[in-house]
Amino acid sequence: MPPASSTTAAAEPRRIPRAEHAVSREHISASALQVLSRLHGAGHRALLVGGGVRDLLLGGEPKDFDVATDATPEEIKRLFRSCRLIGRRFRLAHVRVGREIIEVATFRGEHDGGVDGEVHHDGRIVRDNVFGTLEEDAQRRDFSINALYYDFADDAVVDFVGGMQDLRDGTLRVIGEPYKRFREDPVRMLRALRFAAKLNFSVQPDCAAAIRELGELLEEIPSARLFEEVLKLFQSGYGERTMELLREYDLLVYLLPMTDSAMRRDPFAERLMMQALANTDARLAEDKSVTPAFLFAAFLWPSVSRRAAELRERGEQASAALQQAASELMPAQQEATALPRRFAVPMREIWQLQDRLAVLNGKRSLRVLGHPRFRAAYDFLCLRAEAGEKLQKEAAFWTEIQEQHPEQQVRTASATGGKSRRGRGRRRRRRPAGDSAAAST
């Protein structure tokens, strides 16, 4: 019997036979089935668990399939040639089958903080490598709907924690005591909102109360792990709804402190974020690519452009002002959520190109069309226009000219350039020739 505090709704495990649930082998990837079959054939327990089972039960299309087994990592390694053992917090096996990687994890148990399971003084689990039974494995998972197993041995779904009922009710429920489970791993609070947004589930009241109270614990999470989580929050296709929930539960400030304050202070910032996320969601729905560089360009733009404007007021030239504003503000962002260089560099290029796209100065404007970041910068200009900045004319200009033949482009640019410059009342001496950000390209 598990201790009373770690049980949830259901008192005993339920096995739901194949005839009574929706998980069919037809919908499980061939690679996952191959891994399950090999483990099973070698006399081990072999089950699917997590998002794969959850999404199949809901009639959705799983992103990936995770396998749970009683085989130890060493036994898994002996069974599969293309197997790598990874992870520090959790030791896992990655089995490669064709192009797919199947994550195979040994059942984990509860631990008392001994050598293989270390608990930080604040209740945070920093290492979790104690092996356990299937039931213990279910109990240490985060939410009831994530702790449903599909058993390869007889195709039954195994439910220790009332996950089936919660799936039917549309309830996101923590397994065990929410305060304890969120202290163990504060990232679970972000996962809660991510699943609530993705599945359109309601957060169970005790769980909701705990999140409202414990947000601060996210300050302890390494900024690199938070970055990974931010990507899952905003690039899983439900970013707009996720943003609403993050603000409702007041967690945004721990991920994107400047975005949080900009959205509170400035309706334009709010529109810009929601529009950026709506566009990202729409792109993902069409299987188009998205990049964190673009999303972070939007998240930080209100703060960076505001600071750049202050610096320009003091006589700094536009491109330098923007560079300096970014350099001043990025450290605070990096401390919360660390944006890796490979995204931070293109993000800054997107910003730097904004001035070149906003000033239409005849034929010279056209050079920017060849810039490797032109497309992203153009999309960003359109986003700003959509969010209400007076850039509709410029956005229309670049939209039109991209479609044109080079000779036609020159004619359009010569015609539009002069007019626009006068119209915007730009002062030329502030923008000496050759000062543009991307002049090097």
CA-to-CA distance for 41 and 397, rounded, in angstroms?
64
Q: Which of 7, 139, 146, 204 binds ligand ATP (CB under 6 A)?
A: 146
Q: Quick one: 50 or 73, whose CB is closer to Mg ion?
A: 50
Q: How far is the CB of 414 from ligand ATP (least distance, A)?
A: 51
Residue 112 falls in the annotated catalytic set: no
Tokens of 59: 């009639």
By beta carbon distance, the residue nearest ligand ATP is 51
Q: How far is the CB of 275 from ligand ATP (least distance, A)?
A: 25
What is the separation of C-alpha 323 from the centre of its chain, rounded to a whole number of angstroms? 27
Residue 116 falls in the annotated catalytic set: no
Q: Which stretch binds Mg ion (CB under 5 A): 46-54, 211-219, 306-314, 412-420?
A: 46-54
Strands 100-106 and 66-69: parallel
Q: Which of 51, 186, 302, 346 binds Mg ion (CB under 5 A)?
A: 51
Q: How far is the CB of 214 from Mg ion (least distance, A)?
A: 24
Looking at 142, 159, 185, 281, which residue is catalytic?
Answer: 142
Q: How far is the CB of 184 from ligand ATP (least distance, A)?
A: 8
Q: Which stretch binds Mg ion (CB under 5 A): 48-56, 213-221, 326-334, 375-383?
A: 48-56
Of 238, 179, 240, which is closest to residue 211 (Cα–Cα)?
Answer: 179
Q: How far is the CB of 143 from ligand ATP (least distance, A)?
A: 7
Q: Which stretch binds ligand ATP (CB under 6 A): 60-68, 207-215, 258-266, 414-422?
A: 60-68
Q: How many residues sit in the footprint of Mg ion (CB under 5 A)?
A: 2
Q: Quick one: 146 or 319, whose CB is closer to ligand ATP?
A: 146
Residue 420's binding partner, choosing from Mg ion, ligand ATP, none, with beta-carbon cut-off 5 to 8 A by kind? none
Residue 187's binding partner, choosing from Mg ion, ligand ATP, none, with beta-carbon cut-off 5 to 8 A by kind? ligand ATP
Q: Quick one: 144 or 279, whose CB is closer to Mg ion?
A: 144
Please state the three-class secondary structure of 133-159 as a single string: CHHHHHHCCCEHHHCEEEECCCCCEEE
Q: How far is the CB of 148 from ligand ATP (least distance, A)?
A: 9
Residue 146's binding partner, choosing from Mg ion, ligand ATP, none, with beta-carbon cut-off 5 to 8 A by kind? ligand ATP
Q: Quick one: 49 or 253, whose CB is closer to Mg ion?
A: 49
Q: How far is the CB of 51 from Mg ion (least distance, A)?
A: 4
CB within 8 Å of 15: residues ≥ 6 apart: 151, 156, 157, 158, 159
CB within 8 Å of 88: residues ≥ 6 apart: 127
Which ranges constitute the DSSP H helices of 80-186?
134-139, 163-169, 178-184
DSSP state of 119: E
Q: How many residues sit in the footprint of ligand ATP (CB under 6 A)?
A: 12
Positive or negative: CA dihedral 141, 69, 149, 10 = negative
Q: Quick one: 142 or 394, whose CB is closer to ligand ATP?
A: 142
Q: For the packed helices 267-285 and 292-313, what is the interaxial angle rounded to 10 degrees?
A: 160
Of 217, 198, 147, which is closest to residue 176 (Cα–Cα)?
Answer: 147
Element (H, E) at 95: strand 92-97
Q: Quick one: 147 or 413, whose CB is closer to ligand ATP?
A: 147
Residue 142 falls in the annotated catalytic set: yes
Residues 29-58, one symbol each (x = binds ligand ATP by CB under 6 A, - = not), give ---------------------xx-------
Residue 131 pairs with which residues in a beta bridge? 108
Which residues, numbered 179-238, are part of the site for ligand ATP (CB under 6 A)?
185, 187-188
DSSP codes, 362-380: GGGGGGGGGSTTHHHHHHH
Looking at 55, 66, 70, 159, which residue is catalytic?
Answer: 66
Strands 171-172 and 202-203: parallel
CB within 8 Å of 30: residues ≥ 6 apart: 97
CB within 8 Å of 133: residues ≥ 6 apart: 107, 109
Q: Which residue has the tokens 């007019």?
A: 419
Residues that bind ligand ATP (CB under 6 A): 50-51, 63-64, 66, 141-142, 146-147, 185, 187-188
Point out which residues bind Mg ion (CB under 5 A): 50-51
Active centre residues (catalytic)? 64, 66, 142
